[in-house]
């Protein structure tokens, strides 16, 4: 891209180029955040896996002890802790969904940038339709497709979000990852 920008405009300045820069900035910010978050989530996942292993070892040790009120108390707490750890691991499914969604967003932003910066494509309705089909084809959850379709039909964003919230947790969107 030429050096012309909103900060230093010249005769080559273009609002399309500025739009592409802002779309690219958004994609880079999301990508950088995902990279940072993944390291933290990996650490948490490894920690929880280790805790599950340790809890199993404690449980096995407790089972070898002579039956007593204290042993039963410890076994009970060991099982409750294991259940909580398993619930936390399942909660990480949210992160996987969020990561997938944000990867779609960055891919869409990059695709939009490429479309907008190419005049032959920018003013070609077939290019836009193909781009929209490409976006929709990446969605794996029915709720994503429904949101996309509603927005293309011109429904207001607030209405689309309200419909999404009303169907949150729908069985079609449940994904077992662990």
In a domain, 146, yes or no: no
In a domain, 1, yes or no: no
The two structure tokens encoding residue 82: 């294991």
State the residue for tokens 């960055």. 106
- Report how many domains make up the chain: 1
In a domain, 28, yes or no: yes
Q: Phi-psi region for residue 85, left (φ > 0), alpha (ψ -120 to 50) or beta?
A: alpha
The residue range of the domain holding 132 is 15-138
Distance between CA 163 and CA 146 in Å, rounded? 9
In a domain, 143, yes or no: no
Task: Mark the ranges of the chain whose per-residue pLDDT is less than 70.
Answer: 1-2, 5-6, 8-12, 169-178
In a domain, 176, yes or no: no
In a domain, 157, yes or no: no
In a domain, 83, yes or no: yes
Note whether 135 and 148 are within 8 A (CB): yes
Distance between CA 138 and CA 121 in Å, rounded? 21
The b/e string for 45-56 (b: 16+ C-beta within 10 A; e otherwise) is eeebeebeeebe
Summarised one tens digit per residue, pLDDT across range 110-152 is: 999 999 988 899 889 999 999 999 999 998 888 889 999 999 9
In a domain, 4, yes or no: no
Supply the pTM of this predicted model.
0.67
């Amino acid at each position: 891209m030429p050096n012309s920008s909103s900060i230093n405009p010249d005769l080559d300045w273009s609002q399309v180029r500025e739009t592409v820069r802002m779309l690219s900035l958004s994609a880079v910010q999301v990508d950088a955040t995902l990279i940072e978050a993944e390291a933290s989530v990996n650490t948490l996942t490894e920690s929880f896996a280790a805790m599950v292993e340790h809890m199993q070892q404690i449980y096995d040790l407790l089972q070898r002890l002579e039956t007593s009120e204290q042993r039963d108390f410890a076994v009970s707490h060991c099982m409750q802790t294991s259940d909580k750890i398993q619930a936390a691991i399942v909660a990480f499914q949210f992160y996987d969904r969020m990561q997938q969604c944000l990867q779609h967003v960055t891919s869409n932003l990059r695709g939009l940038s490429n479309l907008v910066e190419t005049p032959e494509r920018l003013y070609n309705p077939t290019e836009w339709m193909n781009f929209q089909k490409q976006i929709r084809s990446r969605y794996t959850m029915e709720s994503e497709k429904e949101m996309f379709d509603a927005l293309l039909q011109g429904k207001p964003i607030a209405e689309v979000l309200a419909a999404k919230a009303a169907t949150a947790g729908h069985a079609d969107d449940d994904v077992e990852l662990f």
